[in-house]
Amino acid sequence: MKKILSLLLLLVLTTTLLAGCKNDADKKETDTAKTTGTARTLDEIKKDKKLVIGVFSDKKPFGYVDENGKYQGYDVYFGDRIAKDLGVDVEYVSVEAASRVEYLVTAKVDIILANFTVTPDRAEKVDFALPYMKVALGVVSPDSALIISADQLKGKTLIVNKGTTAETYFTENYPDVKLLKFDQYSEAYSALLDGRGDAFSTDNTEVLAWALENKGYTVGIDSLGNLDTIAPAVQKGNTELLNWLNEEIKTLGKENFFHKDYDETLAPVYGDAANPDNLVVEGGEVK
Amino acid sequence: MQDLGIRVLFEGKNLIRLLEGLWVTIEISLLSVLISMILGIVLGMIMTVKNPLVKAVTRLYLEFVRIMPQLVLLFLVYFGMTRAFHVNLSGEVSAVIVFSIWGTAEMGDLVRSALISIPAHQYESGRALGLTEGQIYRYIVIPQTIRRLVPLAINLATRMIKTTSLIALIGVIEVVKVGQQIIEASRLSVPSAALWIYGVIFFLYFIICYPVAKLAARLEKAWNTV
């Protein structure tokens, strides 16, 4: 008898659970029924009073979640301002590097603001607005033998990561530099600490942050090679939102908004080691 | 010793956020496990049917799910459904669907193997004793099958719980992702946070998986005395 009773109880529990799940699913679908593959227009966003932005949630200082569970960072500071100027609330969705394009293609977010570097490949799948940041290569080396120009590297060993822009740049432009290649950042940094190479080169934002953590090392060259720009992206063909964003970036340029953003979010991390003008782009104009 | 990384846990709402992440993990994994167990038993019984068409279809389903990495399945359901059918599923719903599809396939195969592992003489002895087919199943086959099935099913359940950490890739913030957020946010101020946070996550997984294993042990014990 007891067994049958407990079996019955289990059955009831299961069905209620399943039913609960189904209801939940239904609700969620109606919530987002409007976003089914095609991006929302500017009017639709305003009408829904909610802007959905995809950001990183674990890439300090660009997009991260602080100890109170709030999104923070350079990208988020910009996202907050976009929402404010549109007069809507903002909802941040945590994205990963590999899924950023897909989020836009399927219209799961309106805008991606996740340290998204503009590349020709990506530009085929999404529409990039004007840039709001730029990255170049940086070279970090020990204070005792600081390297402040790329010519100094001739005949020396430079540590790079495989597949990065640093690897291609030095192979093409400085064939005299001996390259020591690694797969992972951690391996490359320990090689530099062990003295297996004279310097290490990768994105300037990355080496700047690292040099601050590691006393005795300084970024001697903080802007080298081709400038890559970082820009907001929207779904391909969402011209209305794209144009609005471009206008917004131009307007914000007039009040030096991104320098303020830099001071609030990046300056505490990079300190005096970086020159804001080497990272920030105002009004969409790369100088 | 004031600079222990563990203090990161008590800054702001970090601990609550981790527990909220844990709740997401529990909700999604237990729901999927439950659905998988029920559907898996049905599937397993279907798989023992000798019809070649049924065999081929179930085999195809099982092999497809087994070969596909769970991450690919997640992307297929979460992004692919929107692309192909304009159905916009939330990350949570997609996760439950994918884990149920996977769990059902694996569970089905476990049930199938448990069922066919009962030797033919068990059925024959039952018939010789004059039991009806229903009685043979009720008193002979099912008790033995379940006893063989429980350890395997528990193994699958804990595997499913741990694999849910993949859902961070479709935007669902579960316990491991919260941990990474905390680690990254305090990378400069508390470099040793990673060790502590992952330690806590290990402990959290342990407290979900341990009761499941314990329950299995109790069930096995109880049924052994039947």
Predicted local confidence at residue B3, as pLDDT:
60
Predicted local confidence at residue B34, as pLDDT:
94
The shortest C-alpha distance from A261 to chain B (Å) reads 18
Judge whether B173 and B164 are in contact, CB under 8 Å: no
Predicted local confidence at residue A14, as pLDDT:
52
Inspect the interface and report whether the beta carbons of B184 and A59 lie closer than 8 Å: yes
**Domain assignment present for A283:** no
**Domain assignment present for A27:** no
- A123 and A258 share a domain? yes
- A216 and A257 share a domain? no
Predicted local confidence at residue B101, as pLDDT:
95
- A128 and A143 share a domain? no
**CATH code: domain of residue A165:** 3.40.190.10
Inspect the interface and report whether the beta carbons of A94 and B79 lie closer than 8 Å: no
Predicted local confidence at residue A30, as pLDDT:
38
Q: What is the pLDDT of residues A46-71, one digit of tens each?
A: 888 999 999 998 888 888 898 888 99
- Helix-then-strand count for chain A, H and E: 11, 13
- A77 and A122 share a domain? yes
Predicted local confidence at residue A188, as pLDDT:
85
Inspect the interface and report whether the beta carbons of B184 and A105 lie closer than 8 Å: no
Residues in chain B whose Cβ is within 8 Å of chain A: 8, 11-14, 17, 31, 34-35, 38, 75, 79, 82-83, 86-90, 92-93, 96, 168-171, 173, 177, 180-188, 191
**Domain assignment present for A30:** no
Question: Which residues in chain A have Cβ-Cβ distances shorter than 8 Å to B182?
Answer: 65, 67
**Which residues, in sequence order, are CB contacts of B42 under 8 Å at separation 6+?**
B108
- A122 and A236 share a domain? yes
At how many degrees (to 10) do helices B193-224 and B142-163 cross? 170
- A182 and A60 share a domain? no
- A209 and A237 share a domain? no
- A269 and A236 share a domain? yes
- A263 and A149 share a domain? no
Predicted local confidence at residue A271, as pLDDT:
76
Predicted local confidence at residue A9, as pLDDT:
52
- A77 and A194 share a domain? no
Domain boundary among the residues A227, A249, A264 is at A227
pTM score, two decimals?
Answer: 0.75
**Which residues, in sequence order, are CB contacts of B2 under 8 Å at separation 6+?**
none
Number of domains in chain A: 2
Judge whether B29 and B70 are in contact, CB under 8 Å: no
Which residues in chain A come in under a pLDDT of 50?
1, 5, 16-35
Nearest-angstrom CA–CA distance, B226 and B222: 7
Question: Which residues in chain B have Cβ-Cβ distances shorter than 8 Å to A105?
Answer: 79, 83
Inspect the interface and report whether the beta carbons of A94 and B89 lie closer than 8 Å: no
Q: What is the pLDDT of residues B57-91, one digit of tens each?
A: 999 999 999 999 999 999 999 999 888 888 888 99
- A207 and A167 share a domain? yes
Which residues in chain B come in under a pLDDT of 50?
1
Predicted local confidence at residue B217, as pLDDT:
85
Inspect the interface and report whether the beta carbons of B12 and A21 lie closer than 8 Å: no
**Domain assignment present for A140:** yes
Domain containing A167: what range? 136-227
The shortest C-alpha distance from A126 to chain B (Å) reads 15
Of B90, B168, B185, the CB nearest to A65: B185
Task: Check if A57 contacts B (Cβ < 8 Å).
Answer: yes
**Domain assignment present for A31:** no
Q: What domains can you pick out in chain B, each with its CATH number?
A: 5-224 (1.10.3720.10)
- A163 and A210 share a domain? yes
